[in-house]
Amino acid sequence: MFHNRRPATPRRYFLSLAKFSSLIVLFSVLLAACGGTTGSGNTPTATVKNKISVLYAGSLVNLMEKQVGPAFTQATGYPYEGEGKGSTALANEIKGRLRTPDIFISASAAVDESLMGADNGNYVSWYAPFIRTSLVIGYNDKSKFAADLQAAANGSKPWYQVLEEPGFRLGRTDPALDPKGVRTIILMELAQQYYNQPDLSQKILGSPENASQIFPEEELVARLGSGQLDAGFFYLNEVKEQNLPYITLPVQINLSDPAYNSTYAKASYTDPKTGQTTKGSATVYTITIPNTSKNKDGAIAFVNFLFSARGKAILTGDGLILVTPTVKGDTSAVPGQVRQDFGL
């Protein structure tokens, strides 16, 4: 007698199907744990932020590398890579297409302007001043002239008389590569007028390009600290960062306050190679996003961070003073995401 029933499915079929299903579930779990993959099968689908390159004035090395850079990465997730040199030297590297930074911070607006316009390669369309500082004389408290330098710091002895002493080792930066080198020469010219000492600059600096006094900006603080120099011309934020003793100078000559720009402009420096003349003005740092930036999103995030409450607190913690960031150049080229930072 026949019965109408379905043939039995082999048991091994169910076992194979069960194993296959288990493998699918396991693979799905592992895939979820890894955050998923792109078509390459190697890269997580989670957004990976590209490194941001920042070129900045060498006087900001400690501030940028130890404070701003790490804090920016922590706050935004963008990896940070910075390099500090004389602003003019960095501009030359940009012009030579050796570097394509996402952010450029200069110690002089004139350097930004050297990168603007068709004749200069259109590397920069706009810039904004955002912090300022003053020139001071930093010194080594273990120098054989330390007692006299301390007296100058206390105001009981004229600072320029100490710097004139035989054997005194003074450091400054190259006026051909660094705005601070130019400002040092302008400061000494202003000091001649202020103290009525016509030969003061020659006595202290020698020639403007005196090689025995000139060192790379990024090395000057270290040379002072190691005892190679007795004193040097620095920005206030540099000596504060390193806890170095320093001599403050009168506001009429220290190039610190834009309100005195008409006074500062009475002194100038002419580059013997280019013939370009720079008049004295307050020491103001500028920031821009060059047109050649390869990471505009990261650059925008960096500007936003600097102008955030946390960024401003870091900047002012080293003796820098915030200034109203009035944009110079083509304001229409300023990215929309940073326009509010500049009051646009």
The residues, any chain, with a CB within 8 Å of residue 164's CB and separated by 6 or more, are 203, 204
pLDDT band at 219 (very low <50, low <70, confident <90, very high): confident
pLDDT digits (tens, 9 = 90+) for 29-47: 344 444 443 444 444 445 7
pLDDT tens for each residue of 65-107: 999 999 999 999 999 999 999 899 999 999 999 999 999 999 9
Q: What is the mean pLDDT of residues 286-312?
A: 96
Percent of the chain residues topping a pLDDT of 90: 75
pLDDT at res. 242: 86
User: Counting Cβ atoms within 10 Å, is residue 219 exposed (0-12), middle (13-18) or buried (19+)?
Assistant: middle
pLDDT, one tens digit per residue, over 135-173 is 999 999 999 999 999 999 999 999 999 999 999 999 999
| pLDDT recorded at residue 46 | 56
What integer is the mean pLDDT of 176-185? 93
Confidence of residue 295 (pLDDT cuts 50, 70, 90): very high
Alpha carbon distances (Å) from 328 to 87, 130, 336: 18, 12, 16
| Ranges of H-type helices in the chain | 11-33, 61-63, 69-76, 87-95, 109-113, 146-154, 159-163, 179-195, 200-205, 217-225, 236-241, 261-264, 296-306, 309-316
Give yes or no for residue 175 having a pLDDT over 80: yes
296/299 Cα distance (integer angstroms): 5
Residues 6+ apart with CB under 8 A from 150: 141, 245
Residue 186 backbone zone (phi > 0: left; psi -120 to 50: alpha; other: beta): alpha
Q: What percent of the chain has pLDDT over 70?
A: 87
19-55 per-residue burial string, b: 16 or more CB within 10 A, e: under 16: eeeeeeeeeeeeeeeeeeeeeeeeeeeeeeeeebbbb
pLDDT digits (tens, 9 = 90+) for 236-262: 999 998 889 999 999 999 999 999 999
217 confidence band (pLDDT: 50, 70, 90): confident
| Same-fold call for 52-132+284-342 versus 135-279 | yes
Q: Cα separations (Å) of 307 from 111, 287, 298?
A: 22, 11, 14
Type and span of the H or E element at 269: strand 268-270
pLDDT given at position 29: 39
Domain boundaries, the chain: 52-132+284-342, 135-279
pLDDT at 118 over 50: yes
Domain covering 52-132+284-342, topology: D-Maltodextrin-Binding Protein; domain 2 (3.40.190)
Per-residue pLDDT at 48: 82
Whether 10 shows a pLDDT value over 50: the answer reads no
Parallel, antiparallel or unpaired: strands 135-139 and 246-247: antiparallel
Q: What is the mean pLDDT of the chain?
A: 87
CATH class belonging to 135-279:
alpha beta
pLDDT digits (tens, 9 = 90+) for 19-31: 444 444 444 434 4
